[in-house]
């Protein structure tokens, strides 16, 4: 579709919008996850358009989506997580403890 829209001979991931890239990252995370979980966590402070696309793609893949505060991430068994930095309100949080 991107090739048709742009008239370019080739398209790559750099032509994806943020929301579509996030949904593709979710699918990739599931493919490479060692966890048997079918649950993907999304920071409640992600951009609304990103959350909307990820929610739609998760439904199509049959993934369970948990949307909540990043402080709750550790309380869930997930195959991956989407964290917004800075968040949709412009807040910058130290996410290192969550990803280390």
10-56, pLDDT tens digit by residue?
A: 766 565 689 999 999 999 999 999 999 999 999 999 999 999 999 99
State the chain's mean pLDDT as an integer.
90
Going by C-beta distance under 8 Å and a sequence separation of 6 or more, which residues neighbour residue 84?
Answer: 43, 45, 46, 47, 50
For 24, the enclosing helix (H) or strand (E) is: helix 18-32
Q: What is the pLDDT of residue 1?
A: 62
pLDDT band at 2 (very low <50, low <70, confident <90, very high): low
pLDDT > 70 in the chain, percent: 88
pTM (two decimals) = 0.82
């Amino acid at each position: 579709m991107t090739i048709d829209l742009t008239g370019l001979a080739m398209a790559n991931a750099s032509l994806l919008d943020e929301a579509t890239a996030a949904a593709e990252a979710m699918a990739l995370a599931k493919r490479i996850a060692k966890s048997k979980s079918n649950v993907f966590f999304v920071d409640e402070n992600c951009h609304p358009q990103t959350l909307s696309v990820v929610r739609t793609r998760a439904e199509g893949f049959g993934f369970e989506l948990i949307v909540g505060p990043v402080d709750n991430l550790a309380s869930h068994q997930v195959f991956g997580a989407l964290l917004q930095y800075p968040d949709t309100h412009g807040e910058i949080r130290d996410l290192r403890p969550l990803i280390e």
